[in-house]
């Protein structure tokens, strides 16, 4: 699995967009259609993010 900036992942009904990708950390937005601003912003380690998107698919 290769992570890139601005990649969009979908798992179940949730969607996650990678905003900033660093060596050990990932900043992502959890997209929510009900928010006009585009969702909530989170910062986690790469390991936590990979666990979060396990089983998810990349949206082209």
Residue ranges of domains in the chain? 8-59
With a cut of 80, say whether residue 38 has pLDDT above it: no
Quick: pLDDT tens for 18-28: 999 999 999 99
pLDDT at 39: 86
Angle at 44 between CA 38 and CA 46, to 5 degrees: 115
- What percentage of the chain reaches a pLDDT higher than 90? 78
With a cut of 90, say whether residue 60 has pLDDT above it: no
- What percentage of the chain reaches a pLDDT higher than 70? 93
| Letter string b/e over residues 11-44, b meaning 16 or more CB atoms within 10 A of that residue's CB | eeeebbbbeebeeeebbbbebeeeeeeebeeeee
């Amino acid at each position: 699995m290769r992570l890139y900036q601005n990649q969009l992942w979908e798992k179940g009904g949730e969607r996650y967009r990678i905003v900033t990708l660093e060596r050990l950390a990932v900043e992502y937005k959890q997209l929510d259609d009900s928010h006009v601003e585009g969702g909530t912003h989170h910062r986690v380690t790469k390991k936590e993010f990979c666990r979060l998107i396990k089983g998810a698919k990349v949206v082209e």
